[in-house]
Amino acid sequence: MRSEAAPQPPAGLERFCSAGKGRGLRARRRFALGELLFSCPAYAAVLTVSERGGHCDGCFARKEGLSKCGRCKQAFYCNVECQKEDWPMHKLECAAMCAFGQNWNPSETVRLTARILAKQKIHPERTQSEKLLAVKEFESHLDKLDNEKRELIQNDIAALHHFYSKHLEYPDNAALVVLFAQVNCNGFTIEDEELSHLGSAIFPDVALMNHSCCPNVIVTYKGTLAEVRAVKEIEPGEEVFTSYIDLLYPTEDRNDRLRDSYFFNCDCRECITKEKDKEKLEIRKLNDPPSAETIRDMIKYARNVIEEFRRAKHYKYILCLTLIAPACELLEICELSLDKMGAVFADSNVYMLHMMYQAMGVCLYVQDWEGALRYGQKIIKPYSKHYPSYSLNVASMWLKLGRLYMALENRTAGVKALKRAIAIMEVAHGKDHPYISEIKKELEDH
């Protein structure tokens, strides 16, 4: 039997040793704005539970009339082909979902890791997702994990053994610790055009790219295919940089996040100069300006309330599946925080924007379209200033605003907002992306 040919690296790109960063990706030719550098199919992917029924569990396509798995009745597919292709992965969960019923609740990380173990058994040779970087080469940063992170990994390992027993062969505990650490550092979140969470995946070649807060490429998704496009002109010899984090926040916050999740500090131009920090932390213009100590205290309060809200949202949104009251409590938290921070911070301050965005999300959840629109209108201008050009965060905000305007029968404003979203998305997603076709159809239908 002839062995499968080794995957060839994408044209015009090369893996290289990046000074001070380890492995990296470098351009061997010029790439124009909006040009596709390469695409990468998911090595393994898992649809988030809340999106089942609206998206295909196999290819993540969004459509109506999906067919249920005849056994568990909880997975949905476009057609028989999608179901057959996904069966080697879905069978890991199918019987367990039937057996555990409502008690089947492994985390998305556990589900993804189970699929990686199965894929490694089924396909031990290098895959089309590993043209530049193999999964087994992933950095784990095991030596940098604190006790809390190690305990979380042990909890995930226990859940893996609890929920997956029939179709998996487990390596020893030490190997599982390494694998979970690798997934935590190298996993990707797949999002839709409004940046709603669709699932988690491993894209090895995409993981080769190093981080910069001034990225020259952006990663978007067509189902379970990752696409990497230039958001700046890239010259031969230049390193290809993506962003690992939300770039809204000031330098200190960004590097806190990078250290916590990826164990490094960024040394990009933005982090060295901190030139955007003053605008991002803009103070309200008052006759009696606040003291430096007052500003420091309010920044500390803002960071704490953001973390508290993140935790509250996680637990209360679970309740929100059946109750509106917890959502109203979240909105109250947002409004109280905005009142307090607004005594010191300008509306364009990123901490104000963060809470406005959360408030907008709650309004959308409870279908308060006018309330969501009011927050979105306050957010969009400073978003456009704080984020880089061709930001998905800006595009998604224009898209949400456009759809809200349309729902509230303000077609003129709706068309303008949707066209602004399309202008960014045509660079970031490519002009032929299904999301852009859907938005253009929305414009035609209205």
- The 10s digit of each residue's pLDDT in 251-292 is 999 999 999 999 999 999 999 999 999 999 999 999 899 999
pLDDT tens, 148-189? 999 999 999 999 999 997 789 899 999 999 999 999 999 999
- Structure confidence at residue 224 (pLDDT): 98
Spatial CA neighbour of 336 closest among 367, 359, 369, 370: 359
Quote the pLDDT of residue 333: 86
Question: Angle of helix 325-342 relative to helix 350-365, nearest 10 degrees?
Answer: 160
As a whole number of angstroms, the distance between CA 241 and CA 230 comes to 10
Question: CA–CA separation, 93 vs 74, rounded Å?
Answer: 10
From residue 222, how far is each of 195, 204, 435 by CA, in Å?
13, 16, 9
CA distance 388 to 217: 11
Mean per-residue pLDDT, 101-108? 94
CB 139 within 8 A of CB 186: yes
pLDDT of residue 167: 81
Domain with CATH 2.170.270.10 in the chain: 13-43+100-242
Q: What is the pLDDT of residue 318?
A: 42
List every span in the chain annotated with CATH 1.25.40.10: 284-445
On whether the CB atoms of residues 34 and 164 are closer than 8 A, the answer is no
Place of tokens 């089942």: 52
Neighbours of 409 (CB within 10 A): 8
Q: Would you place residue 322 in the very low, low, confident or very high pLDDT band (cuts 50, 70, 90)?
A: very low
Structural tokens at position 122: 């089924």
Give the pLDDT band (50/70/90) at residue 319: very low
pLDDT for 264: 96
Q: What is the pTM of this model?
A: 0.93
> Quick one: fold of 284-445?
1.25.40
User: Edge to edge, what strands does the sheet with 36-41 contain?
Assistant: 36-41, 225-230, 217-222
Q: What is the largest CA-CA distance in the chain?
A: 81
Counting other chains too, the contacts that 286-294 makes at CB distance below 8 Å and 24 or more residues apart are 290/344, 294/344
Residues ≥6 apart with Cβ < 8 Å to 45:
60, 112, 115, 190, 199, 200, 201, 202, 224
- At 236, is the pLDDT very low, low, confident or very high (cuts 50, 70, 90)? very high
Q: What is the pLDDT of residues 343-375, one digit of tens each?
A: 999 999 999 999 999 999 999 989 999 999 999
- Mean pLDDT for 11-38 is 97
Superfamily holding 13-43+100-242: SET domain (2.170.270.10)
